[in-house]
Amino acid sequence: MTLSPDSSSPPIWPGCGLSELGRDALGHAVPTPDYWRVWLRRPELALVEESCVAEQGLHEALVADPLRSVLPGQIEAIRDPDVRDNFRLYLAFRDAVQRAGTLEAAWCGFFRSGAIQVLPLFLDLLVQAIAGRALADSDDAWEWRAAELLFRRQRVRVQDGRVLLGDADTLDRLNETGGLGSIGSLLRQAGASVPQAQARVLEEGSAAAYLASRAVNDHHPFVLDATHEVQQHLSHGLTLTMTRSHSGLKALARVLERWLAHVHGLQAKVVPEARVDDPAWRWHLGLDAESTALLNDLYQGQPVEEARQQRLISLFRLKLAADAPLRDDLRESLQGRPVYLGLAMNAEGLLKLKPQNLLLNLPIDPDRLVPGRAAAA
């Protein structure tokens, strides 16, 4: 499967403009005028019935020439203050991405600059497009679903010993409408009983349906099984491992490997771990805010209450290639040592993975990174 424009294949994740991006020599995503037209069609910027003449004129001019300069007076002439703010934020974002040259360079630059001046929605859409480019040669449904964790908040549910991750906004919408859309909302408002809708767990029989669902904008109806392999300790001392044919955690590990290779040029092996027994534990990072705090407390020997421990979904062992550009002050102590990653939900059962932690918290010298190197090898 490729992401090259193909009239016979529907676009993948159309809301983030993935199919409208160009490609540089490293395979990185280059913004095009059509990419910015996708942004102008988004609900935050699209025209509505109440749009004033000034807003209509500016919007139409940008659709005709998405890279055109906009004078401050053209924005100030818009009647709605929220619309004015949206255009200011969008144009500043557009110009920053254009200056960077690729989405990958822009995304890294936003976080390396210190104070983030970009809306979280804009960052998530960047990550979605970058993840799609990193998975360009994959037709594995579990990898594509696991990649959604990079830019979509998940609601975690433990059911019959399985850890299930569902798109939080989708599940909330289904619970509100019972899967009946606006009719379901009206019924609930009227006090009528609305059946609870069920999202589908991604399994062998639903993989094709999941891959097809990527063509629908803002549509994330499939649940990822993030249960660890089941181990049974036998009486004679051996351990029997019950291996799942498709593991959401293993798929996420492969996605992290692809992300590191594509965005940072780092070759790495990532393996999910149920527990860590390593007296020489040297470096760790959380893939989300909850696991960051949890791992920090464990590393420092702080007591961690049972309720917090139970929020940990998985650990991962990340092994960088021998030639990885480690920081000079850490090279001796970390050479050949793994980095441990954590993944955890918060007290409300929500998970929001932060891919920027791989940029900011790995023991890597950022000045010696060669983006695209591993992906091109």
| Alpha-carbon torsion (176, 178, 181, 185), positive or negative | negative
For residue 4, name the pLDDT band (cuts at 50, 70, 90). very low
pLDDT digits (tens, 9 = 90+) for 85-102: 999 999 999 999 999 999
User: Residue range 345-355: average pLDDT?
Assistant: 96
> What integer is the mean pLDDT of 265-274?
94
pLDDT at 297 over 80: yes
* pLDDT confidence band for 281 (50 / 70 / 90): confident
Percentages helix, strand, coil for the chain, rounded to the nearest 5? 45, 15, 40
**207-241 CB burial, b ≥16 within 10 A, e <16:** beebbebbeeeeebbbbbbbbbeeeeeeeeeeeee
Scan for tokens 């016979």, then name that residue: 8
Domain boundaries, the chain: 14-137, 142-225, 248-376
* DSSP per-residue codes, 276-327: ---TT--EEEESSHHHHHHHHHHHTT----HHHHTTEEEEEEEEE-TT--B-
Q: What is the DSSP letter of 55?
A: H
Give the pLDDT confidence of 179-235 residue by residue, as tens digits.
434 444 433 444 444 345 568 899 999 999 999 999 998 889 999 999 987 555 544
What is the average pLDDT value for the chain, to the nearest integer? 87
pTM: 0.88
The pLDDT, as a whole number, for residue 195 is: 46
Q: pLDDT tens for residues 126-157?
A: 999 999 999 999 999 999 999 999 999 999 99
Average pLDDT on 157-181 reads: 81
Q: Is the pLDDT of residue 375 over 60?
A: no
Q: In the prediction, which pLDDT does 324 show?
A: 92
User: What HEC string does 99-133 produce?
Assistant: HHCCHHHHHHHHHHCCCCCCCHHHHHHHHHHHHHH
- Quote the CA–CA distance of 168 and 153 in Å, as a whole number: 6
Does position 376 have pLDDT exceeding 60, yes or no?
A: no
d(CA 279, CA 291): 20
